[in-house]
Structure 1
Amino acid sequence: MVKFQKLDAWKLLADVPDEYAFRCHDGGVFKNMRELRDGLEAISDETFGFHANAEKNDFSNWVKDIINDEKLARDLTKSHSRLQAAKSVAARVSSLSTKLKPMTA
């Protein structure tokens, strides 16, 4: 089993270049997972439904294709509400953030 490295966690949590930022239907712009988490908590259900519905899931696609986090992308695909999606992102951010903390003996 390959051990998840601190650098991997850092890359997944880092800002993406401006040209790859997620541009939300309501004008919001998210450049990293933390901004996505906060954005999902703040956007309307209508805006969430524009991006995530039976035909598509823009959030999942962005996370998979731009951030390169297959696990979170799968979790977002399973999320049927913006709050469920926000919780999935929050859990992933928390998990990755713990990997960045220095190990103490």
Structure 2
Amino acid sequence: MKQQKQLGLWLLVFVSLGSMIGSGIFNSPKDLIHVANPMGTLATWIFGGIGALMLALVFIYLSAKKPELKSGIYAYARDGFGDYMGFNSAWGYWSL
């Protein structure tokens, strides 16, 4: 007879936590439209879009200047500022 696999308590806690965070991200724009000024909402979307575009352009520029670096933000920071800043940039980037 095969033993059935069961989800442990911690796995269930993290699955439910991830579901709550994920649903919050998708509900935020809808909730923002109901409570905020439409012009403020539009400005937020425009500034956020410009910021995302600038970040993408920075990574395009970095990948063209240093094609040998393959580890993303960590490799760029480590190459430019040393091991300590490379670690801090990777830790800060992924902790948010």
- TM, length-normalised to structure 2: 0.27
Q: Over alpha carbons, which structure has the higher Rg?
A: 2
More helix by share: 2
- TM-score, normalised to structure 1, is 0.25
The higher relative CO (CA closer than 8 Å, separation ≥ 6) is in 1
